[in-house]
């Protein structure tokens, strides 16, 4: 099993290595490692409808 690093997550606060064969999200020509990084990269945040509090507040 290869563990080659192809790229790094485009979310600057994550910057996780992206390995060959890993499922990722593509944003334009950039890659992010997870849905959470995708929304962060897009400047969006996950909220519950009817509430204005973000989920998974860190």
Of 43, 48, 49, 42, residue with least CA distance to 26: 42
The residue within the footprint of Zn ion, chosen from 24, 31, 33, 38 (CB under 5 A), is 33
- Binding status of residue 16 toward Zn ion by CB under 5 A: yes
Stretch that binds Zn ion, among 18-26, 29-37, 43-51 (CB under 5 A): 29-37
Between 22 and 49, name the residue whose CB sits nearer to Zn ion.
Answer: 22
How many CB atoms are closer than 10 A to CB 40? 19
Query: Residue 20: phi, psi to the nearest 5?
Result: -55, 130
Tell me, what DSSP letter sits at residue 12?
T
- Binding status of residue 11 toward Zn ion by CB under 5 A: yes
- Point out which residues bind Zn ion (CB under 5 A): 9, 11, 14, 16, 33, 37
């Amino acid at each position: 099993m290869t563990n080659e690093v192809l790229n790094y997550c485009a979310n600057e606060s994550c910057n996780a290595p992206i390995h060959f064969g890993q499922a990722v999200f593509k944003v334009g020509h950039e890659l992010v490692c997870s849905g959470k990084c995708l929304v962060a990269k897009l400047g969006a945040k996950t909220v519950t409808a009817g509430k204005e509090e973000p989920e998974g507040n860190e």
